[in-house]
Chains A and B, each alone.
Chain A
């Protein structure tokens, strides 16, 4: 009987440890770090890349209706971003954008984009 209990306990600990390990691996794999395009290419996982869009290059691709544009990251490298969604309403005013997605082939494929516009508000002594 005692033997059986020890066996059960050991089995439970092993199962729990394995589950915890799987969760932690999934957790660290799901973090979306800010990286450069070179790092994004190397990693191949979901990441966030900040960059400046080339507004002249923006277009909808026929057929897929993906929104494509060229973007240059902070170290000067450029890539075509394939945004699988509609162009954000404030895209044309963007100072820079953050695209969240993966590098795939020759493109950066993204489903989520944050647009950073120049602030229209300058804080100071005014107001309240």
Chain B
């Protein structure tokens, strides 16, 4: 165990100690008013709290030191560490050396632990009277994350340092992907706060005092998680090249479901604050939202879904840890919740609670119900392989399941979100709200009619668009009205505006995008989707991994965009299809490169020499000495096995690194390295590995330098997506609106 792992272990012990001191402080005060304690007890309590705080601070500081250590290892190219060698290389830009930190499983867990420690300190300073009752539960959650981080430490050292790293996965070399994981993990960490506060409320038997603090914490978590999800969607759209932004993949759903639950909780918290209601709901939802984070982590990181998700991890021996995580969060919550069930009552006595359905009370109830239904259905679909696996062969659901079931719920959400902000808490306001409702309705109808005039059809899309527009106009009305009272009050309405725009963007792209595949002859052009696309000869990158195809787009004979969509071999031996996107407010033209047909795309090689090399041996072939040092099984979990290979020519090392092949045989082309020798470029391909005999089979071939100047054609998919821009504008409004609401509720809780 090296010093870094010791730091993480010490952080674990400090967090455990912090929790224990908080429990002792709670035992002294009995979770009552501390000012009513005797001087001796009061001093004892204060001592315990001071110790608990110091320990939580220490835990965060130690994780921060470990994180700074990992960061500096990346910046210094310290390839003694396996994680650094596997996720970066000397040639990597500095910005990506930073983001390589969270490129893999181990680093991203450390990042989560770092945020968890930070928010732990922030919660203890803001929880006030809830501190000693809630912090032990936060410490428990923090401990679980630290335990998983220790299990999957990024500080494992290699037997001998690597000369250079393998490099960063090219998929991750993108600004969006550089910030996506930190934002997501910050959200994951922050959601532990409402959970801990809810548990504290159950312990304290004070079911109302925790709500103001938990409200802004939940808003903060929702803001971070939502921003992370939307950044991920933007990344998928701009980088992955399949033309979409959301694939209902288990990894995506694992963040979306808690976000939807947290979204329901935002509203039910407001109901308790304004009316003293929904006490049991809020405690249950706070716990369940965090449980969903634990469950989502289990789904995506335990390997249970590795056959069903493209970016789910295989089993790394984490499943037992993660199941324990779920159990330790869930079981005490369930026991306490049932024990206190009768005790949890509304702050005031209400009769005919939902009698006045034209009130915000009813809006929150029905809106939260619909959100929860949507979240539960998405959860059901995501869990399908587990559910069906218990009765027979595991099966995933087709992604159409999510679209079909969420479609009616989406319409309901848009309508509810449009109608109920017009009303007030507990009052029948139909008369005064009537004008605004009718105006919104009329405007939505007028715009929908306008859309129909452009020829856009499909009753289902138009109905959803109408509902979204209604939600948009009514919240715009409320936004303008409330803005007079100060900008800090507009958060909710602004967020609703964002949601309405996101809905409109989704409908426009799902319903009215046109997409066509076309073969563009290299050196020629083709008419497709109302455009002329002209392709010139492909350009292969120096390392032989990337092929760019320069394209020119013409509309009505005028050139309006030039670009080079590309296809790149990734480390996983799959092909990244880098799109070319022409964006404007009203339309995106999206070109996905699919494949180069009938041309010697990329690198062609002359017939090569096959060789078989045992572990630790060197083979001489055609003036080169090729040696195979050792197997690399560290990425076995990702379905890859590597071999350390070195090529030298007359004592000069031409290549020294690792080549990986996929274990399951789902990968694709062989993994290869291109290097420059005196006589030109050569390609060394790892063809197969036989671990039982300790041998690798390789092929060494000279690259033929002729470029495919003509011939062949480029298969592309051209999509014209109307108003995708609304999606991104909506995402920004959601983030801004939630930020404003977070600040408002934070000020209120002070």
Contact = CB atoms under 8 A, between A and B. Distances in A.
A, B in one complex? yes
Interface of A: 19, 22-23, 26-27, 29-34, 46, 60, 64-66, 85-90, 93, 95, 100, 114-128
A121 B518 contact: no
B471 interface: no
B393 interface: yes
Contacts of A116: 664-666
A30 B594 contact: no
B398 A89 contact: no
Interface string B654-679: 00000001111111111000000000
A66 B355 CA distance: 58
B633 A127 contact: yes
Given A19-B373, A118-B665, A32 B595 contact: no
Contact of A126 (B380, B381, B631, B667): B631
29 contacts: A19-B373, A23-B377, A23-B380, A27-B401, A30-B404, A33-B393, A60-B597, A64-B517, A86-B715, A88-B668, A89-B668, A90-B669, A95-B665, A115-B668, A116-B665, A120-B665, A120-B670, A120-B686, A120-B688, A120-B689, A121-B641, A121-B661, A121-B663, A123-B691, A124-B690, A125-B692, A126-B691, A127-B633, A127-B641
Contacts of A117: 662, 665-668
A19 B381 CA distance: 15
B339 to A, nearest CB: 27
Nearest to A32: B398
B432 interface: no
Interface string B354-387: 0000000000000000000100010011001000
A27 B395 contact: no
A87 B669 CA distance: 14
Given A23-B380, A60-B519, A33 B395 contact: yes
The secondary-structure label for the interface of chain B is: mixed
Interface residues of B, number: 47
B396 interface: yes
B690 A30 contact: no
Interface of B: 373, 377, 380-381, 384, 388, 393, 395-398, 400-401, 404-405, 517-519, 574-575, 594-595, 597, 615, 631, 633, 641, 661-670, 686-694, 715
B398 A46 contact: yes
Nearest to B380: A27
Contacts of A118: 665
Contacts of B664: 116, 119
B715 A121 contact: no
Contacts of A34: 393
Contacts of A60: 519, 597, 715
Contacts of B665: 95, 116-120
A95 B665 CA distance: 9
B715 A124 contact: no
A119 B667 CA distance: 9
Contact of B668 (A90, A100, A123, A124): A90
B249 to A, nearest CB: 13
Nearest to B569: A89
Contacts of B687: 120
Nearest to A117: B665
A116 B639 CA distance: 13
Contacts of A26: 401, 404-405
Nearest to A45: B398
A124 B398 contact: no
Given A120-B661, A120-B688, A121-B688, 5 more contacts: A19-B373, A32-B398, A64-B517, A115-B668, A126-B691
A9 to B, nearest CB: 12
Contact of B669 (A31, A89, A125, A126): A89
A103 to B, nearest CB: 15
B400 A46 contact: yes
Given A120-B665, A124-B690, A31 B519 contact: no
Nearest to A85: B594
Given A46-B398, A116-B666, A126 B661 contact: no
B693 A30 contact: no
B125 to A, nearest CB: 43
A128 B636 CA distance: 11
Contacts of A122: 688-692
Contact of B401 (A30, A33, A89, A93): A30
Contacts of A120: 661-662, 665, 670, 686-689
A89 B572 CA distance: 13
